[in-house]
Structure 1
């Protein structure tokens, strides 16, 4: 019987993104979404599980003796117990560097929108303020250029470096932050090109701080009330990384007190957010932008993701290791 491939949360990619045909005999089953209580029965008899956000814990994996491969439809694999997979002989692969352009462009878009006060001026036009102006233009909140500003980046992987390249094209001065708590002050470089400086120094001297690190035990709550207080009054904060890296109540308080000139987030600690979540309250602040975790989701990036998934599965059945995590 051909191997059964089950995609447990197909709706994490829109229907317009096509999944390439696999160059191997197989059966295909997909579900729009899968609740925790549905995971085990839906994977019975499956050789391959494709997941984006569905959690695969050790207790579930132990009951799936036919499962041979977990193909994660994302770069982060914290929803899969990879250690248990190693013990059980289940291969794990992910997709990599598929959204470098998408995330970098989204990050720069948010920086531009904040510094040029895009939302405030759009709202002014919609309210008729420009139409009633006695002059050819409408002066409102102060506008600022990105050129000449210092951009501090937390996270020096491919995404952080992609943002650095775009920021340089806008004339920004790019620096990367070292690990929080590092005692060394020696200056090193990222990719032989950009300086890496102590974490606290980067926060204190950057005009814009942009986050591009993973969420883990070390980075959870990385930017809290103390760290926000270190930032320059009038600085901007952009988070297109993961919810939970920023202490959201602390960010809300900083915005309400006017300690930051603005902030933008594409992620939240709870997704989707609920009515009581701090980031939704922050929307009442005059220079806060919240986008719904779509920085990665250009059609080009998502199509690349689908193509990598297909290539990973085909490679596995061909006996090759491609983007393996186990």
Structure 2
């Protein structure tokens, strides 16, 4: 079976820039399941059909495979999503065309949870700030044995609100317990009843010192964090988003940060990826420590998931999905 990988460059460990990318050690298990593997660093919408025309299997992280494209690929048997989210695949058309669709879950639990706490620790302990003070020679000029700078705050006794309590949210909660942090698990906004162990969405916002987003993007969760949500939060609270950019209303977030309704936001995802140079959050200057205080807005490039180990687990998960399909077993199937 001939497999085509449309956007290998979304992985840092698979030697996407190498002419021998298809024989990368990271792709060893995928190669073991196919007769031929063709890899492309990136693929534009105009290139998809031509590149996939002879493929039995297409591997895509974020390249869109919509109805128009799928109808032009009669040989295609299996789509392997190199991620968990499936919003880039027209599942309804895949079903009618008899194309199997798989994803991979659980590969980034440790990586995402580690990212969340790396950001929490940096914000509350101000490690980079204190390192910079010494690099600038301030300790050397100080009259006492210790150089105080930005305040250091203990995590013990803080409250962490988790919105989206799947495997990622649970991994974050597990680490929180080790720091003696109280965890609140939010129910869906507007829910008429509470599941055991959960609190209302508004209660979570009102009582959390840290809010971490781990829910999927749906019609109901788009702009979940909006003007009203920020008004419910503590002005000292920290917001972390490692899920999807459109969970947050950008204008409302900027207003909340500028108006002091929210102390800090850490975003690993944006509503456009890659973002344009003039994206409102990137040009806001709220990440300027001198003008706006420490770490008011921090943005990273969708890398919370991307530890080397998580990337390899994901690639190996794709290989397992191909193996299961070949053996006529159902593993991680989204088309059924």
Q: How does 1:181-200 map to 2 (within 5 A)?
A: 181-184=190-193, 186=194, 188-189=195-196, 195-200=197-202
Distance 1:130 1:83 in 2: 63
Three-state SS of the structure 2 residue aligned to 1:278 is coil
Three-state SS of the structure 1 residue aligned to 2:27 is coil
- What does residue 2 of structure 2 align with? 4
Q: Which runs of 4+ in 1 moved over 3 A?
A: 21-25
- What does residue 122 of structure 1 align with? 131
Q: Which of residues 26, 38, 42 in structure 2 aligns to 1:18? A: 26
Q: Return the offset for 1:131.
A: 2.8
Q: Which of residues 289, 295, 302 in structure 1 aligns to 2:298? A: 289
1:167 aligns with 2:176: yes
1:270 aligns with 2:272: yes
Distance 2:306 2:91 in 1: 25
Q: Which of residues 86, 94, 100 in structure 2 aligns to 1:85? A: 94
What CA deviation, in whole Å up to 9, does each residue of 1:23-43 have, x standing for no partner? 445121111100000001101
- What does residue 243 of structure 2 align with? 241
Change (3 A) 1:138 1:166: same
- What does residue 59 of structure 2 align with? 50
Q: Return the offset for 1:121.
A: 2.6
TM-score (norm 1): 0.93
Q: Return the offset for 1:90.
A: 0.3
Three-state SS of the structure 1 residue aligned to 2:211 is strand
What CA deviation, in whole Å up to 9, does each residue of 1:51-79 have, x standing for no partner? 00000000110011000000000001100
My pick for the range that moved more, 127-136 or 137-146, is 127-136
Distance 1:98 1:82 in 2: 22
Three-state SS of the structure 2 residue aligned to 1:174 is strand
Distance 1:249 1:117 in 2: 27
Contact 1:36-1:55 within 8 A present in 2 as well: yes
Q: Return the offset for 1:215.
A: 1.2
Q: Which of residues 295, 320, 325 in structure 1 aligns to 2:329? A: 320
- What does residue 65 of structure 1 align with? 74
Q: Return the offset for 1:322.
A: 1.1
Distance 2:255 2:129 in 1: 21
- What does residue 312 of structure 2 align with? 303
Gaps of 5+ in 1: 190-194
Change (3 A) 1:25 1:247: closer
Distance 1:63 1:104 in 2: 40
Contact 1:72-1:92 within 8 A present in 2 as well: yes
Distance 1:305 1:232 in 2: 37
Structural RMSD (CA): 1.5
1:101 aligns with 2:110: yes
Change (3 A) 1:270 1:86: same
Contact 2:33-2:322 within 8 A present in 1 as well: no
Gaps of 5+ in 2: 16-24
- What does residue 216 of structure 1 align with? 218
What CA deviation, in whole Å up to 9, does each residue of 1:191-233 have, x standing for no partner? xxxx310000110111111110111211110001111111012
Distance 1:313 1:25 in 2: 8
- What does residue 152 of structure 2 align with? 143
TM-score (norm 2): 0.90
Distance 1:59 1:322 in 2: 27
